[in-house]
Amino acid sequence: MSLGSGWLFYDGWVWGMRATGCYSKSLEQEQDLLSNGKQHRPRDARDNANKQAISKNEDEDGDIRVSGMKMNGFSDEYLDRIEPNGNIPDKDCSWDHLVHNNGSNGDHSSTTTHEPLSRQLSVSSDSKLLDEDIRDEHKVIMRPKKPPRPKSEVYLCKDHRKSKRYSAFGGDSPFGRTEAYMKLDQLGEGSYATVYKGYSNLTNQVVALKEIRLQEEEGAPFTAIREASLLKQLKHANIVTLHDIIHTRETLTFVFEYVHTDLSQYLEKHGGGLHPRNVKLFLFQLLRGLSYCHRRRILHRDIKPQNLLISEIGELKIADFGLARAKSVPSHTYSHEVVTLWYRPPDVLLGSTDYSTSLDMWGVGCIFTEMITGVPAFPGVRDVQDQLDKIFKVVGTPTEETWPGVSQLPNYKPHKMVLYRSRRLASLFPRLHEIPNAENLAQAFLQIQPNRRASSESGLRHQYFADLPPEIFKLNPEISIYSIGAVRIATEMHNYPNAVIQASREIRKKV
């Protein structure tokens, strides 16, 4: 018997047909629920011929509630018989099965057969049951997700780096990447490297980029590896700072602090000799930096004006440690092919490999004299013999009497040498007379015998520096001498125009 749209009454059972499934409840069960005090909001039946008091509720979203329980289109009996895989058995919804279970008329049960009623589950429950079924069939073990990996300490504390040097030599950091720096202008080019003025995107500072070209078969030059390893351990105000190292397939780039000029360019711009005050400050800083290296048994081996950088405030920094060596001193294993010819000591020119810190001190004496006079002390032109001749004219030609053992050196050839007597430096460089104690200090550095040359430590204690503030001798190695208020660079006496400077550079290139 029809009760209305979507409802059917048959043999004491009420059947609810919905799009989402089937609903059944016997009248006796409904009456029991009503008698137990359950509150229901009656729904008007649309079939006026056979009205029955069927208690149903419909909530706001359209789902039917029976006996206060949300059924989603299924009775309690059906939901209790759900199989483990989430499906409702077909036999439970067949017409014959329900009729037999209800004790209905035998005619209907024996003669009437119907297709199983169509049932559907809600989308959410259907998807969930399907996922569970797939897991059971394939026996997949669902492991819990791993917790997120914690970030590196470097990224958690990226704003608290120890120092620029620390970031350059290890650890996970943005340093060491090509994109961190930008090339601006080319400053110079050597036999194996090109130096550029650059800009650091990390520190927002101007830097110097020394780009070393790598050979595919040979790899990085040994001089570059040596320079990097030495500069890592040298932290001094008068030694150039290495900020970073960038390695690619084609190049190896060193990132240095930028210093706007070097002593060679400074001498060209201020020809005729520097201000005596500035000469003293530059020499003091040079000896201070070399003393720091020599105490650590490091020889620079290429002291020359091009390798001494000068900042705008007059701070001198030793650079280019490509030929430097860190070894016990003295040593018998060094090469004699070191130091630019003009600043090479006579013992090395004669082929000696038995040298120590005295190698650097000869170059200091040559630079000291050049800063005072404005011209190189021993400007050799052709070869080693010409350079030796320039030196012997000043310090005298060595013999076994004046230099025991000199005749045993490989390049000592008396038949090619002119015999000269030693002369006072002031007779050749008159400006040394004008500066107190300058000639005496220069003479101490330019001794022909290496074991008689003054060391960097003894040079710092020389009377020539007596008028400097006492606290300058007690400074921490990493503190600049210009941190002392009384120490300031003086204005130079000569300032040549750029045209004269350029002409002087061309002459030097030809020499």
Torsion of CA 473, 478, 483, 487, to 10 degrees: 40
130's tokens: 């399907």
The helix/strand/coil state of 39 is coil
Task: Return d(Cα 9, Cα 7) in angstroms, integer.
Answer: 7
Torsion of CA 291, 293, 297, 303, to 10 degrees: -90
What is each CA distance from 157 to 113, 151, 153, in whole angstroms?
Answer: 78, 10, 6
What is each CA distance from 59 to 23, 40, 65, 257, 359, in whole angstroms?
Answer: 16, 11, 7, 77, 101
Task: Looking at 157-297, list the stretches that DSSP marks H as alpha helix, in order from N- to C-terminal side.
Answer: 164-168, 222-231, 263-269, 276-295
Strand order in the sheet with 316-318: 261-262, 308-310, 316-318
> What stretch of H or E contains 25?
strand 21-26
Task: Return d(Cα 282, Cα 300) in angstroms, integer.
Answer: 17
Residue 210 annotated as lining a ligand binding site = yes
Q: Which of 495, 488, 425, 444 lies closest to 273, judged by CA? A: 495
Which of 92, 244, 302, 389 is labelled catalytic?
302
Q: Which amino acid is at 313?
A: I
- In contact, 201 and 181? CB cutoff 8 Å: yes
In the numeric block, the tokens 């006079």 are attached to 373
Task: Return d(Cα 276, Cα 208) in angstroms, integer.
Answer: 30
Q: How many other β-carbons are positioned within 10 Å of the β-carbon of residue 253?
A: 22
- In contact, 40 and 59? CB cutoff 8 Å: no
297's tokens: 């048994």
Name the burial class of residue 299, with classes exposed (0-12), middle (13-18) and buried (19+) by CB atoms within 10 angstroms of its CB. buried
Residues 6+ apart with CB under 8 A from 320: 227, 302, 306, 307
Does 159 participate in catalysis according to the annotation?
Answer: no
Which positions are catalytic? 302
What are the binding residues for ATP? 210
Q: Please give the annotated binding residues, written as ranges.
A: 210
